[in-house]
Amino acid sequence: MCGILAVLGCADWSQAKRARVLSCSRRLKHRGPDWSGLYQCEGNFLAQQRLAIVSPLSGDQPLYNEDRTVIVVANGEIYNHKKIRKQFASKHTFSTGSDCEVIIPLYEEYGENFVDMLDGVFAFVLYDTRTKTYMAARDAIGVNPLYIGKGSDGAVWISSEMKALNEDCVKFEIFPPGHLYSSAAGGLRRWYNPHWFAENVPATPYQPLVLREAFEKAVIKRLMTDVPFGVLLSGGLDSSLVASVTKRHLIETEAAEKFGTELHSFVVGLEGSPDLKAAREVADYLGTIHHEFHFTVQDGIDAIEEVIYHDETYDVTTIRASTPMFLMARKIKALGVKMVLSGEGSDELLGGYLYFHFAPNKEEFHKETCRKVKALHQYDCLRANKATSAWGLEVRVPFLDKEFINVAMSMDPEWKMYNPDLGRIEKWVLRKAFDDEQQPYLPKHILYRQKEQFSDGVGYNWIDGLKAFTEQQVSDEMMQNAAKVYPHNTPINKEAYYYRMIFERLFPQEPARETVPWGPSIACSTPAAIEWVEQWKASNDPSGRLIASHNSVSANHANGNGHGNGNGHANGNGVVVANGTNGAAANGITNGKMEE
């Protein structure tokens, strides 16, 4: 990933303004430590901080057309760039090996109506000196972050992260996924218009081989790299399938010619955590070169302020899950790896979270998957991208491939639903698609392992330790006055209050706090799904451990590989009513150091 900043239509063209833009751009240097560039034409500035993954020797930005009248800065990976290069070989002279350079000939051929032709993830800004117009666009789901704001002089600011524009804009917001901004048209418009956006229930029958093929293609295209890479492997279904498909097809890729066919895998967790054991087993089965990183609760607590600075959120679940990932990313980058594949997106597309067990019908199930996918840019995409980009590490997410999304969201949701009478647990459609008796992708008990939230899978004591720590940092009196201090998105527990205090210190502007989503949640549900079960409305803890089906109902359909967590008992409605959160981790919360 890279970092981009564009300031367009400034009234001030001075050297002082150029210096200010450079200073703001440098706040994104963690995203792109390999190179930086700045283009200026009168009051228009395009800056980029580069992380070199494809064509590291020739892809520095900004990028230009032949006569340097069209300029682009981009943060992206365009997986079909070679096909596009062939299309324009006789019309356009390419000056770099950058995959993002194809944006220029597409624009020159089709104007602004080309964005859907890009297969990949991206955030870019293009300036045309001939018409003195510009456009910006963000990928379909919002895998790559982007913000847009307006300065006091009316200039438009566009940045990969909020920290590069929040001090210079009178208002700013998230640049919505699947949209483009056109100065010529005078605003935003949606370029990504898939059939599922209307939330109408699809009727296409489940075709396991079609689902499998779409995912394998999504993984293979993401092996486009000119630098060493690996896979994040928690041992759960999603990351294990990413690793398995990568291992199976790596030999067919150009990456194998450059770096060999050995695959590196990485996991992080507290000592004795569920993920460490499961990941080790999958790594042994696949034959990866496996790296296991340990952290303590105190390591995580010490990193929280940095995590909030990089993630730019105060969402509790995001911070819980980002912290171990943030620590792991630093260790991965220290090993010389610059890109990893990860398993985000599957649970949203296929209804993999445990609360989906309680969907009252397939219509509600499908609407919830639509809501979850539409919100990914504020949660899992934000976490995966920013927690790793903090250390100049790029994460690629094959489950969020456009074609795989089309296949998954076109399926009759009846097939996705939890149905114990038919032996279907969560994400049964994905498990069945890769349940190959002749050439198995994974052992059965891994293929049917139950879902863990990432923040739980790294070790249950991580959450309990966070709660114990924040309990000491926030007084009862502070909580009583929470609505007065934070009238917008008022924290409902001490952990949320603690994160909010840090966020407000780092990002004190009103528009900043409005970029963070808020509302009740159980096990990553949207607020709308809270209505499915009456007792969920009384909870203020988003952990997946509150769902009683965890290691109880579902365990009977996952070859008995569940593990108990001792976090309360379930009533007849399938809701945990006594969640034990007292005390910190038994593995120690002081003086611990993260180690490999």
Cis peptide preceding 62, ω within 30 of 0? yes
Q: Positive or negative CA dihedral for 264, 324, 51, 82? A: positive
Burial 488-508 (b: 16+ CB within 10 A, else e): ebebbbbbbbbbbbbbeebbe
- List of residues 6+ apart from 350 with CB closer than 8 A: 369, 408, 416, 426, 427, 429, 430
Round to whole Å and give the CA distance between 198 and 219.
28
Burial of 232 (0-12, 13-18, 19+ CB in 10 A): buried
Half-sphere exposure of 39 (CA within 13 A, CB side): 24
Alpha-helix residue ranges (DSSP H) falling in 378-459: 380-389, 402-410, 428-433, 444-447, 454-457
Round to whole Å and give the CA distance between 70 and 287.
47
Q: What is the 3-state secondary structure (H, E, C) of 26-43?
A: HCCCCCCCCEEEEEEECC
Round to whole Å and give the CA distance between 447 and 189.
41
* 2 carries an active-site annotation: yes
Return the ∠ at Cα 264 (arms to 261 and 270), rounded to 5°: 165
Q: What is the 3-state secondary structure (H, E, C) of 246-284?
A: HHHHHHHCHHHHHHCCCCEEEEEECCCCHHHHHHHHHHH
Report helix, strand or coil for 386: helix
Smallest Cα–Cα separation from 381: which of 395, 367, 393? 395
> What would the DSSP string read from start to end of 102-115?
GHHHHHHHHTTTTG
Helices (H) and strands (E) in the chain — how many of each? 21, 17
Distances in whole angstroms, Cα of residue 198 to Cα of each of 201, 338, 364, 396, 402: 9, 38, 13, 27, 17
Q: Positive or negative CA dihedral for 350, 356, 357, 359? A: negative
- List of residues 6+ apart from 428 with CB closer than 8 A: 415, 416, 418, 419
Burial of 230 (0-12, 13-18, 19+ CB in 10 A): buried
For tokens 């390591």, the residue is: 299
Smallest Cα–Cα separation from 579: which of 463, 476, 498, 482? 463
Q: How many CB atoms lie within 10 A of CB 560?
A: 9
Catalytically annotated residues: 2
